[in-house]
A and B are shown apart, each in its own frame.
Chain A
Amino acid sequence: MSGVLYLAWRYLLWHRFKTAILVLAVTLVIYLPVGLQLVVQRTAADMTARADSSPLLLGSRGSPLELVLNSLYFSAGSPPSLDYGQLQELRDSGLVEPIPLYVRFHSAGHPIVGTNLDYFDFRGLELSRGRQMVGLGEAVVGSRVAQQLDVGAGDAVVSSPESVFDLAGVYPLKMWVVGVLAPAFSEDDNAIFVDIKTAWIIQGLGHGHQDLARPEAAAAVLKKDGERIVANAALVQYNEITPDNSDTFHFHGDNDSNPLTAILPVPHNDKAQVLILGRYQSHPELQIVQPRLVMDELLATVFAVQRYVLVAMVLVGIATGAVVLLVFLLSLRARRAEMDTMSRLGGSAIAIGSLMLAEVALVLLASALLAATLTGATLILGGPLLQAVVTQ
């Protein structure tokens, strides 16, 4: 048998172009449906796990899917905002521990998640390097962010402006990385976490500037009327929070009216969950959703599309199989003289008959190995890619 395999191997190698095409065709026939199935299943499992771990979400009335995608998967496109004051109302209910989320800004393509320290405990996120954020302007980054941006404790990240033309609005804020999270194998690995107040500073709701009452700021004073001071454009506003200027940072007005994109209410128990659901079910301005149900709906659509694609792939696979079979049959006919020679030389009928089968087997083996490799690579890379497609 080894002789036959050797001959089959030499034949395939000799006709390497034909062999490559055959292997590629069979690989695709195997890989595409299998790979698609695995990727969809894996993605669905990951997204479902994420949704399962987040029992409830509270947001402004609008698209539940947009709320879930932005809050759990940090997709671009923020839902309508709700007031920070809702957080205390939820806390006062005694039913949940609410966690604020403000996912609107980005830095070098990574989402900036404004939240509080409760988020880390809720998600079980641990630090691998550095420390937890303490003050305004500090950030803790996910493991993939650290890897891709090559940042660690002591490095800086800068928020991206929302629009080049919106000079008076969201402007870049330089934030100092103080810690790197251990891999969580979730969207949290791709995120930059800041305190919710830092996110508001990015938005321009809070800022730090020279003390206008001090002599050094005289150039920035437009006019002074008793205790009222109006500043001019020369006022130096800080785009970076440092230990030297952190105490100048402040917010205007009541923080309760500052925006959030969502609140993660963590119920104390099942009964509390039911009660809080009932309380907000018919709220005129807010919506409370169960992420798992929303994701099930989305994934049902994905599965439906997948079924159609699989049917198409099976049909293509059958056609490809027929073509491959034709190629082998034509090859068999073309090699009849060769078979005849071997027969006349005294080659065993089994050996000669096995030669074509050995070639088929080698092609199938190579295809299977290549398909397995592609499937493995797809599982690693395709899951996040598909999830990005689904969530964006």
Chain B
Amino acid sequence: MRKLLVITVLLLAGCGVEGEVPSTEAVGTGVPVIYTVNYPLAWMAQQLLADTAEVVFPAPANVDPAFWQPDTDTVLRYQQADLVLLNGAGYASWVARVSLPGRTLIDTSGAYPEQLLTVPAGPSHSHGPGGQHSHGELAFTTWLDLGLARQQSQAVSVAAQRLLPSQATAIEQRLAELQRMLTVMDERLMALGRQLGERPLLYSHPVYQYLQRRYQLNGRALHWEPDQVPDEAQWSHLQGILQSHPAQIMLWEAQPLPEVQVRLDELGIKTVVFSPMGNRPPSGDFASGMAANIERLEQ
């Protein structure tokens, strides 16, 4: 019976879809442990390191990792990791409020600060001698610019090779394959961008800045949640925007409520789900998820 249980466990362990990142860490495996702050980085690390390292992305599946706050025990586990992959651009504000070993932190956006986008993230305020400032200044969904995603994967590769020099060659090879995948998707989106041209688009939330810039899209962002029905003020606000920006496509982070979709249809606005994929998808992986995003947009 015990043997059967062990075999069953082993089979299940090997049964994941390629690239799936386990959400719980295995204990005492003897390989380096890498923690990440979002799913795209976890996917990249998994692609590059395969089974030579344990990649952990501990955020629960139902939260936005950008605004998730890990508990004390989780932060302590981050502290013990051999590498902590940060997205950079202010992603995961909790990182700025915790103590992590400097030597394990890798800012995957650190190589291209000049390419980061600044956005007004809410009311600015001033008090005391510091002057005007606002809280949250950079757009952080950098990986939606697949060119930047390639650079992030490069940073992950460099860190991984430093961690596992014996695996350097293998990592380089996997990096080439990974970047090839990202390039294919990048080119598809480029083509799509050219196709869309200046056609006005709408975004349910301001999370597509890098997508817009990279692929020359013409979009404006609302602050609508997929699981909520906008109130009349919000519908009026939308109407006002449509006066000068007659969009017929609205990109959503997730499928909106049916009644919202119906009303958008009445306004002539097609709903397209384009998941930013900050967290792990219900099925598949980053590559398949992005491919699905692109297909939906192409349609």
The judgment on whether A and B are partners is: yes
Q: Which of A118, A131, A213 is B101 in contact with, Cβ under 8 Å?
A: A118
Contact of B135 with A by CB under 8 A: yes
User: For residue A266, which residue of chain B has the nearest CB?
Assistant: B103
Using an 8 Å CB-CB cutoff, how does the interface string of B86-125 with A read, 1 for contact, 0 for none? Answer: 0000000110111111110000001000000000101111
Q: Inside 8 A of A117's CB, which chain B residues have their CB?
A: 79, 99-102
Using an 8 Å CB-CB cutoff, how does the interface string of A218-236 with B read, 1 for contact, 0 for none? Answer: 0000000001111100010
Q: How far is the CA of A231 from the CA of B122 in the complex (A)?
A: 16
In contact, A246 and B123 (Cβ under 8 angstroms): no
Q: How far is the CA of A138 from the CA of B75 in the complex (A)?
A: 13
In contact, B99 and A195 (Cβ under 8 angstroms): yes
Q: Which of A118, A136, A138, A230 is B126 in contact with, Cβ under 8 Å?
A: A230
Contact of A156 with B by CB under 8 A: no
Most buried by B among A99, A135, A136: A135
Most buried by A among B76, B110, B126: B126
User: For residue A178, which residue of chain B has the nearest CB?
Assistant: B72
What is the interface residue range for chain A against chain B? Answer: 35 or more
Contact of B127 with A by CB under 8 A: yes
Q: Inside 8 A of B125's CB, which chain A residues have their CB?
A: 212-213, 228-231
Q: Inside 8 A of A251's CB, which chain B residues have their CB?
A: 96
Q: Inside 8 A of A116's CB, which chain B residues have their CB?
A: 99-102
Interface residues of B in 113-158 (CB under 8 A from A): 120, 122-133, 135
Looking at chain A's contact residues, is the secondary structure mostly helix, strand, loop, or mixed? mixed
In contact, A87 and B102 (Cβ under 8 angstroms): yes
Known: A132-B76, A252-B133. A99 touches B102 (CB 8 A): yes
Closest chain B CB from A355 CB (angstroms)? 72
Closest chain B CB from A25 CB (angstroms)? 57
Q: Inside 8 A of B72's CB, which chain A residues have their CB?
A: 131, 134-135
Contact of B293 with A by CB under 8 A: no
Q: Which of B69, B99, B132 is A133 in contact with, Cβ under 8 Å?
A: B99
Interface residues of A in 161-218 (CB under 8 A from B): 168, 195, 197, 209, 212-213
Known: A209-B127, A228-B123, A231-B127. A135 touches B101 (CB 8 A): no
Most buried by A among B100, B101, B120: B101
In contact, B99 and A228 (Cβ under 8 angstroms): no
Interface residues of B in 197-217 (CB under 8 A from A): none
Using an 8 Å CB-CB cutoff, how does the interface string of A53-65 with B read, 1 for contact, 0 for none? Answer: 0000000000000
Contact of A253 with B by CB under 8 A: yes
Q: Inside 8 A of B123's CB, which chain A residues have their CB?
A: 212-213, 227-229
Contact of A283 with B by CB under 8 A: no
In contact, A135 and B102 (Cβ under 8 angstroms): no
Q: Can you report 5 A-B residue pairs in the complex whose CB atoms are below 8 A from each other?
A: A116-B101, A133-B99, A136-B97, A228-B125, A228-B132
* Chain B residues with a Cβ under 8 A of chain A: 69, 72, 75-76, 79, 93-94, 96-103, 110, 120, 122-133, 135
Which 9 residue pairs across A and B have the least CB separation, nearest first? Answer: A231-B127, A229-B125, A117-B101, A195-B99, A134-B75, A252-B130, A212-B125, A213-B123, A116-B102
Name 15 extra pairs, CB < 8 A, besides A100-B102, A132-B79, A134-B76.
A91-B102, A97-B102, A97-B103, A98-B102, A117-B79, A131-B76, A134-B72, A136-B97, A195-B99, A227-B124, A229-B124, A246-B97, A249-B97, A252-B131, A253-B133
